[in-house]
Chains A and B, each alone.
Chain A
């Protein structure tokens, strides 16, 4: 598939009005947000951020210790964020990064202050409402020394059929002993092209835990976030749950560069092609010991499609422990029969096994979000059998 051309989309003229309150959204958009993990009641959230089309629409912090700003305001406040802005992603990298360098619509700046344990997640949504709109955002997340933060970020379009493009730069900084859990839920539409460019840096004893959920169709998605474990004892973990229905083309993966001793990483992807194409990459590179990394891509093809798993391990020093496990399979007949012997019909048995395969439970998400995801999985199974 030929990468999309960003020139076909409008990167100017779609400034959205500021919202006083997330309730100001209409019922349809609220529903779209809910599917992306955003609770308009802001129950159990430390703060909220909403970016719509070409501008920030809502930004609110509910807890001390966490700072949430529109990136444009953060650049003003912190003199252009010289230590963080475009420090992990090269603006010259490709068409997407050049576009993001030339056009900045907004994005979030989220920072957990030193030692702050922010228990309830911060929620954010990057939303596209206008047809033909091209959206370009730049996000920066900083977890200061010893701080803990969970961000749930959804990306959504207002109408499943609209044509649009999203360019997003994200740079993550986890300082010494910090912990960032970053959960991203993509709810794009069948005519949307998405090219995020993300990178992160984890210092000594820091942890970066990433959950990614994509269950809805998206025309074209290409992303390959790269995390560098730069300090002793740093940890990175990726869990991805991905479904590609007919019309979806996904080229995605995770990369971890282990540049310090005692680092650990795990990249786990569960993918289902139900008519679409998934290129599932994974790359662990280790140049220090001890270093332990595991890469796992498991795929099912249900109702047609393509899965192309490309796991890569790269070790440049003696003593590293890296492993990978890639499998593309089918649902075992024995498992279906076992559940049928308990009274489940064939469809119930199959969908139970599929839900278990995707295993969203291990992400430890808030109940309400988990319920929404379960519901979306149930809906997406219509394409599978």
Chain B
């Protein structure tokens, strides 16, 4: 699904990603850990082709297509979908309208999807105008549900979300990644198959999201380098006990 090869990225003069190699298979969810400022968000933004992130070396291959320098909308149309951490407000654009546009030619059952993320009361509001942290998360998720991406990039799904909404978000992220959790007669077999082939790349500090999804693999991003590949729960446990200090040693060994 996604192949990242020796990816180097600069913001201005500063190198934030220093040779990333990462493969994510169809249907697989990959969890990214790492201390603040280590480059996790930068990696997601680069995959989406956003902002001032300049690729100086390496390649990004998505579904066999080299998208390293592709415009953002081409990546989106190929099936990359991203949940933004701090999305901009768009005045005069109601959520309902944006969600409908996320489906492109496909008809989007806006009301039904919105009810699933408890967002039907927000459909007439301008996108992100005065949304709380948890509301932004649900709004982003709703847009992804309409978009039906085959690779979901999610930056800290649990930040700013209360416990009740965490369960709701967890459930919907799962259904986005692993197909519907309840059978839906209105979905064709083809759609169900597509849903099952969805991959994920999720950034988390707390690991709460792991209670809801089947995450197969994980790694730590430390100072622009990936290290310590293991099962996500084991990584989390390790960080809890020892912090990120271990990663430094692990990295030193790897780079030596």
Name A's B-contacting residues (CB within 8 A): 332, 334-335, 337-346, 349, 352-353, 355-359, 361
Give B153's nearest chain A residue, CB to CB. A341
Looking at the assembled complex, report how far the CB atom of B106 sits from the nearest CB atom of chain A, in whole angstroms: 11
Interface bits B77-107 vs A (CB < 8 Å: 1, else 0): 1000110100110111110001001101000
Contact status A342-B87, CB under 8 Å? no
A213 to chain B, nearest CB (A): 15
Nearest CB in chain A: distance from B119 CB, A: 16
**B residues apposed to A, CB below 8 Å:** 48, 50-51, 71-73, 75-77, 81-82, 84, 87-88, 90-94, 98, 101-102, 104, 126, 143, 147
CB pair B91 A356 closer than 8 Å: yes
Partner of A341 from B84, B94, B104, B126 at Cβ < 8 Å:
B84
Interface centre among A342, A346, A357 (most CB of B within 10 A): A342
Residues of chain B within 8 A (CB-CB) of A361 are 92, 94
Question: What chain B residues lie within 8 Å of A334 (beta carbons)?
Answer: 51, 88
Give CA–CA (A357, B72) in the complex, Å.
23
Q: Are B102 and A343 in contact (CB under 8 A)?
A: yes
Q: How far is the CB of B120 from chain A (nearest CB, A)?
A: 19
Since A335-B90, A343-B73, A356-B93 are in contact, a sample of 13 more A-B pairs with Cβ atoms closer than 8 Å, ordered by chain A residue number, is: A335-B88, A337-B72, A340-B73, A341-B73, A342-B98, A343-B104, A344-B101, A346-B71, A346-B73, A353-B90, A353-B93, A357-B91, A361-B94
With a cutoff of 8 Å between Cβ atoms, the chain A residues found around residue B75 in the complex are 341
Chain A residues lying within 8 Å of B51, measured Cβ to Cβ, are: 334, 337
Which residues of chain B are within 8 angstroms of A332 by Cβ–Cβ distance?
Answer: 88
Q: Beyond A337-B51, A338-B88, is A344–B93 a contact (Cβ under 8 Å)?
A: no
Q: Contact: A345 with B73, CB < 8 Å? A: yes
Cα separation A359 to B76 with both chains bound (whole Å) = 27
Residues on B with beta carbons closer than 8 Å to the beta carbon of A339: 90, 98, 101
Q: How many angstroms between the C-alpha atoms of A346 and B87 in the bound complex?
A: 17
Q: Would B91 and A344 count as touching, CB distance under 8 A?
A: no
**Of B51, B73, B82, B104, most A-chain CB atoms within 10 Å:** B73
A344 to B76, CA, bound (A): 8
Contact of B91 among A337, A343, A359 (CB under 8 A): A359
How far is B75's CA from A341's CA once the two chains are assembled, in angstroms?
A: 8
Instruction: Tell me if A340 and B72 are in contact (CB < 8 A).
Output: yes
- Report the Cα distance A8→B253, complex, angstroms: 88
The answer to whether A338 and B84 touch across the interface, beta carbons within 8 angstroms, is yes
Shortest Cβ distance from residue B151 to the other chain A in the assembled complex, whole angstroms: 12
> Are B50 and A341 within 8 A (Cβ)?
yes
Is A358 touching B88 in the complex (CB atoms < 8 A)?
Answer: no
**Secondary structure of the A side of the interface?**
helix
Count the A-B residue pairs with Cβ separation under 8 angstroms: how many? 67
List the B side residues contacting A338 at CB < 8 Å.
84, 87-88, 90
22 example contacts (A-B, Cβ-Cβ < 8 A) are as follows A335-B90, A337-B50, A338-B87, A339-B98, A340-B72, A340-B76, A341-B48, A341-B72, A341-B73, A341-B84, A342-B147, A343-B76, A343-B101, A343-B104, A346-B71, A353-B90, A353-B93, A355-B93, A356-B126, A357-B91, A358-B92, A361-B92
Chain A residues lying within 8 Å of B82, measured Cβ to Cβ, are 341
Q: Which 5 A-B pairs have the closest CB atoms?
A: A356-B92, A359-B92, A340-B72, A356-B93, A343-B76
- Report A295 CB to chain B, min CB distance, Å: 18
Report the Cα distance A340→B71, complex, angstroms.
Answer: 8
Q: For the complex, what is the distance from the CA of A108 to the CA of B101, rounded to whole Å?
A: 43
A352 touches B48 (CB 8 A): no
Q: Which residue of A lies closest to B93 (CB)?
A: A356
Judge whether A344 and B73 touch: CB under 8 Å.
yes
| Nearest chain A residue, comparing its CB with the CB of B76 | A343
Contacts of B81 in A (CB 8 A): 341
Within 8 Å CB of B93, what residues of A?
A: 352-353, 355-356
Minimum Cβ distance to chain B for residue A272 (Å):
13
The reply to whether A357 and B92 form a contact with Cβ atoms under 8 Å apart is yes
When distances are taken between beta carbons in the complex, the residues of chain A under 8 Å from B91 are 356-357, 359
Distance in angstroms between the alpha carbons of A361 and B50 in the assembled complex: 30
Q: How far is the CB of A73 from chain B (nearest CB, A)?
A: 42
Residue from B90, B98, B147 whose CB has the most chain A CB atoms within 10 Å:
B90
Tell me whether A343 and B147 are in contact (CB under 8 A).
yes
Whether A342 and B90, one on each chain, are in contact in the complex, defined by CB atoms closer than 8 angstroms, is no
Closest A residue to B124 using CB positions: A361
Bound CA span A124–B34, Å: 66
For B104, list chain A residues within 8 Å (CB). 343
Report the separation of the CA atoms of residues A345 and B104 in the bound assembly, to the nearest whole angstrom: 11
Q: A338 CA to B101 CA in the complex, in Å?
A: 13
Chain B residues with CB under 8 Å of A356's CB are: 90-93, 126
CB-defined contacts of A357 to chain B, threshold 8 Å = 91-92
The residue from B50, B92, B143 contacting A342, defined by CB atoms under 8 A apart: B143
Report chain A residues within 8 Å CB of B87.
338
Which of B84, B93, B104, B143 has the most A CB atoms < 10 Å from its CB?
A: B93
Whether the Cβ atoms of B73 and A352 lie closer than 8 Å is: no
A345 to B77, CA, bound (A): 10
